[in-house]
Amino acid sequence: MIGYYIIIGLIALVSFAVSSKLKSKFEQYSQVHLRNGMSGAEIATQMLHDNGIYDVKVISTPGQLTDHYNPADKTVNLSEAVYNQRNAAAAAVAAHECGHAVQHATAYGMLEMRSKMVPIVNVSSTLSQWLIMGGLILGIASKGLSFGYIIAVIGLILMAIATVFSLITLPVEYDASNRALAWLKNKNMVSQQEYAGAEDALKWAARTYVVAAIGAVASMLYWALQVFGRRD
């Protein structure tokens, strides 16, 4: 267990560092005001229309960094700051979320796969570690009785599903950012300075998903070693 806590601790430190850097980047680029004077909501609406999408609503949602696209009700949800502000950071986030809407409209394979996995991931991410730990404890208490081992393996399978979900998220997020940046550039929505800010902000946002994926893989490998190592 000590090894597990060391891994989790290191990943948590890296995650904190990346998240802090991301926040500082967004604060920095929030000071780069758009020459076209468009708000995040207007940027989002324009990108949707330029991609022939008229059945997706752009709405404001409370909180910070709460921006997301909801394929279920076809809404681009922008945090209050992004929705109202007129700067490079707001443009980057708004366009990125619309990138997901474009993915949905064009049936982007990775997004569809991730969406289908959401229900089972909601369950697996909650139960997997408890099943693994419970199975290992049962195995020790019963001196290696196979029932505990089976429970642990089931937990490991559920954890593997959640890990695959984290890995699939990477191309989905990077693709959405690429779509956003390409649109901002090709439609001349931002100046060169504004584009550089948007690109840098999205780069750091993507790194939070990279750290999460690495954490998921590391955790799964650790527990796999615990389960199969004890079996030997």
Catalytic member of 42, 97, 173, 199: 97
User: Mean pLDDT across the chain, nearest whole number?
Assistant: 91
- CA angle, 164 then 104 then 29, to 5°: 85
The better pLDDT of the pair 4, 69 is held by: 69
Residue 4 confidence class, pLDDT cut points 50, 70, 90: low
- Among the listed ranges 83-87, 148-152, 191-195, which one has the minimum average pLDDT value? 148-152
State the pLDDT at residue 153.
Answer: 93
- Closest Cα to residue 71, out of 45, 97, 92? 97
Angle between helices 88-105 and 109-141 (to 10 degrees): 90
Q: Give the integer Cα–Cα distance in Å for 147 and 167.
A: 30
- Using a pLDDT cut of 70, give the percent of the chain over it: 95
CB 105 within 8 A of CB 62: no
- Is the pLDDT score of 231 beyond 60? no
- Among the listed ranges 29-43, 70-84, 127-141, which one has the minimum average pLDDT value? 127-141
| Distance, C-alpha 56 to centroid of its chain | 21
- Closest Cα to residue 92, out of 20, 183, 215? 183
- Is the pLDDT score of 145 beyond 90? no
Q: What region does 144 belong to: left with phi over 0, alpha with psi -120 to 50, or beta?
A: left
State the pLDDT at residue 230.
Answer: 60
- Is the pLDDT score of 140 beyond 80? no
- Is the pLDDT score of 1 beyond 70? no
- Closest Cα to residue 177, out of 113, 91, 73? 91
State the pLDDT at residue 23.
Answer: 87
Residue 125 confidence class, pLDDT cut points 50, 70, 90: confident
- Closest Cα to residue 136, out of 151, 125, 157? 151
DSSP SS3 for 78: strand
Residues in the chain: 232
Number of domains composing the chain: 1
CB 54 within 8 A of CB 48: yes
The question of whether 42 is a catalytic residue gets the answer: no
Most confident option among 69-73, 100-104, 121-125: 100-104
- Is the pLDDT score of 219 beyond 80? yes
Place of tokens 């390409």: 182
Structural domain that includes position 75? 2-231
